[in-house]
Amino acid sequence: MRRDGAHPLLPLLLLLFLALILPSSHAQSGSSRPGTDNYNCAAEKSVYPCRGFTCIANRSVYPCRAYALYRASGGDDLASVSDLFGVSTLSIARASNITDNSTAVLSSGQPLLVPLICSCVDNHSYALVDYQIKGGDTFYILSTTNFQNLTGYQAVELVNPTLVPTNLSIGVITVFPIFCQCPNNTNTLINDNSSTTVSIVSYVFQPSDSYSSIASNFGTTVQSLISLNGAETAVEAFSVILIPVSKFPPPLLLSNSSSPSPSPSPPPPPSSTVVEKRDRTGVIVGLAVGMGLFAILLALVLVLFLGERKKRRREARKRKGDVGWNNKGSGERRFARSGSDVKLMTDISELLDKYKLYQIEELRRATSDFDYSCLIQGTVYKGTIDGEVFAIKKMKWNACEELKILQKVNHTNLVKLEGFCIDPEDGTCYLVYEYVANGSLHSWLHDAAPTRRLDWRSRLRIALDLAHGLQYIHEHTWPRVVHKDIKSSNVLLDSKLHAKIANFGLAKTGINAVTTHIVGTQGYIAPEYLADGLVTTKMDVFAYGVVLLELISGKEAVSEEGEALWVEAEVVFQRTEANVIAWMDPVLREQSCPIDTVVTVLNVAKACLQRDPSKRPTMVDVAYTLSKADEQFSDYSGDGLSVGSEDVSVLAR
C-alpha cells in the first residue's frame, strides 16, 4: 500500500535545495559560444562563460570604453550604483539618459548603463571593480545579487587567488571582474546605415528575452547578436551576452529622462525550439527566482522601515540644528527660500556629530568681517577663535561633496577639518581647517626670500610626507579617493616643515570614472585625463611626479613660455652630468648633498610621469623607495659623492 504521509511539496523543496547548492546546475549541454572560456564549468558542459570572455587577438584595442546594463533595485539611487561600480554618478546619468538629481530614488527595475574600462587581464576581458566585503558576503551571493550576474563566482575566485571563498574577512578589498569586451573590426552593427560599433554593452540574458527583443531595445540587429554570441539556442538564462551599440542612449533608455522607467514589457515569446531547450530548467529557475524575490521583498521592507526611522531622526536633528544656525530662530524660514540650501543642510546633517558647527558671527569676528588683511590666498582667511588660529575657507560651490570626503579621512599628512558654518542669510558654506603655519610648498620654492630656502633633507622629507598622504587616500579609504588637484600650492608646510595635503574641492571617490568636465591646473594634468577624462589614482601619481621635479629643479610646473616642466625634464631623464647639474635648483648646487639620493628621486619622478598610466607606480611603491633614499641620506656624512663633486658618473648608471 502506498504511504500517504509524504507532503506533496517535498519534491519541489528538494529541487529548490539542489538549485541553491548547485548554482550552475541549470546549464545545459550544447555548443560553446564564441569567445568564451568554460574554465571550471567543463564538468557541467556549460555554454555560458563562467570565467569570462577571452581577449580578442588585436590587443591594441585594450583598454576601451565598455558598458554594463544594470537594473536598479528598490531604494537605489545613482550614488549607490556609482559606489558599487566605482564610477562617477555623472557618467552613469549621461549614459543612461537621466537628468534628475543623483540623490533621487530610482524606480525598481529601471535600466542603467554603467560605463566601465574594459581591459585584458590574464587573457580575459574584464572591467575590474573593487568591493569591500561585509558580513554574510560570499563570491556567489555577490556575483548573483549585488552585481546581478554580470560576473561569475568562478571568475571572482580566479582574480582573487589569495582569498578563501568560504572564509572571507569583513573589510577585505575584493576585486570583481565584470565581463566585458572591446570592439574590433568584426564587431560591427549590421544594418543599412552603419557598420561601425561605438561600444559593447554587457547584458544579462533574461528568461523572457529573445534576440529579437534585445535588438529592438538596443537599436542593433539579430545578425550582429549572433555574430558576437552565437545562436540564441546556445544562450542560457542569466548568462552575459554582448550587445554592440552605435547610438546612445539606446531605445531602452529613452524614457529615463522624462520619468522613471517602468520594467520593460515582456518581449515576444521565443521560438518553440528555445522553449523546449529551457523547459527542463524552468521549475528550478522559477523556484529559485521566486524565493529570491521573496528575500528581496523582505529585505526591501526592512530597508524602508530603517530608512524611514533614520529620516525622522535626521529631520529632528535638522530642526534642532536650524535654531543653532540662527540665534533669532528664523533660520528655517530663511533657508526655505532656497531648495538647494535645504538640500545642503539635509546632506550634511550626518556630520553634525563629528565636526563643530560654527556661527557665522564667530567667523566674522575671527577675520575682522573677512577683511583683506586676513586673506591668505584665494578665498581662505586666517582667523582666531578663542585664542586658536584657524584657516577659514569660503566655498565657491556646494561643499557637500568635499565634506563627505573629508569626513572619511584622518591622517597626519592631510590638513585637518575642524568644523564648518552655514550662513543663514545666503546659505554660503565655510570650512574651518587647522592653520598650517608655514604656508604652501609653492611659496617656499618659487616666491621664497633668501632666508626661506629649503635644503635637500627638507625637500626629501616633504616628498615622503606627500607620498604617505596620497598612499593613505588611495589605499586606505573606501571608496578610494582621488584628489585630482595635487600641486605645490596645495601642499602646506607646518612649523616643522612637515607636508600636509590641502584643498579637496575637486576630489572624487571611486576609481575608473570618466568625465567630460576637465578641471585642474596646467602643468599637473595627466595626459589620459586631459584626452579622455579618465579619473584614476594614477592621475594623482602623475601630478606628484611634477611636484618632485619642482623639488629638484626649483622651477615652476609651467614655464613663462608655456612649456610643461615634465616635458622639459624628458631631456634630464637621460641622466648626464651636464643635464642634471645645470637643471637642479641653484640652492641645492650650493649645498653638499649625496647625488645618489637626487638620482633616486629623479628616477621616481620619471616613473610617475609615464604617459601610460598602467606603467606608473602606486604610492605604496613610491613611499617605500623614498624611505630608502631618506635612510641613505641619514647615513650620509658629507664626505662622499655630492652635487658639487666633479665625479658624477653615477648618473650614467
- Residues noted as catalytic: 485
Note the residue count of the chain.
653
The three three-digit cell numbers of residue 127, written as one number? 572591467
Distance CA 544, CA 468 (A): 12
The three three-digit cell numbers of residue 91, written as one number? 557618467
The three three-digit cell numbers of residue 485, written as one number? 588637484
Is the separation of the CB atoms in 318 and 345 below 8 Å?
Answer: yes
Pairing of strands 64-71, 375-377: unpaired
Distance CA 555, CA 553 (A): 5
Distance CA 94, CA 91 (A): 5
Tally Cβ neighbours within 10 Å of residue 428. 15
Task: Indicate the SS3 state at residue 223.
Answer: helix
Let me know if 519 is exposed, middle or buried by CB neighbors in 10 A (0-12, 13-18, 19+): exposed
Between the alpha carbon of residue 220 and those of residues 190, 196, 217, 249, 515, the distances in Å are 8, 11, 8, 12, 26
Name residue 454's amino acid.
L
- CB-side exposure of 352: number of CA atoms within 13 Å? 20
Cα-based torsion angle of the residue sequence 152, 156, 157, 159 in order, rounded to the nearest 10 degrees: 140
Q: To which residue does cell 535600466 refer?
A: 111
Is the separation of the CB atoms in 52 and 152 below 8 Å?
Answer: yes
Is the separation of the CB atoms in 135 and 178 below 8 Å?
Answer: no
The three three-digit cell numbers of residue 626, written as one number? 623614498
Tally Cβ neighbours within 10 Å of residue 582. 11
Is the separation of the CB atoms in 549 and 605 below 8 Å?
Answer: yes
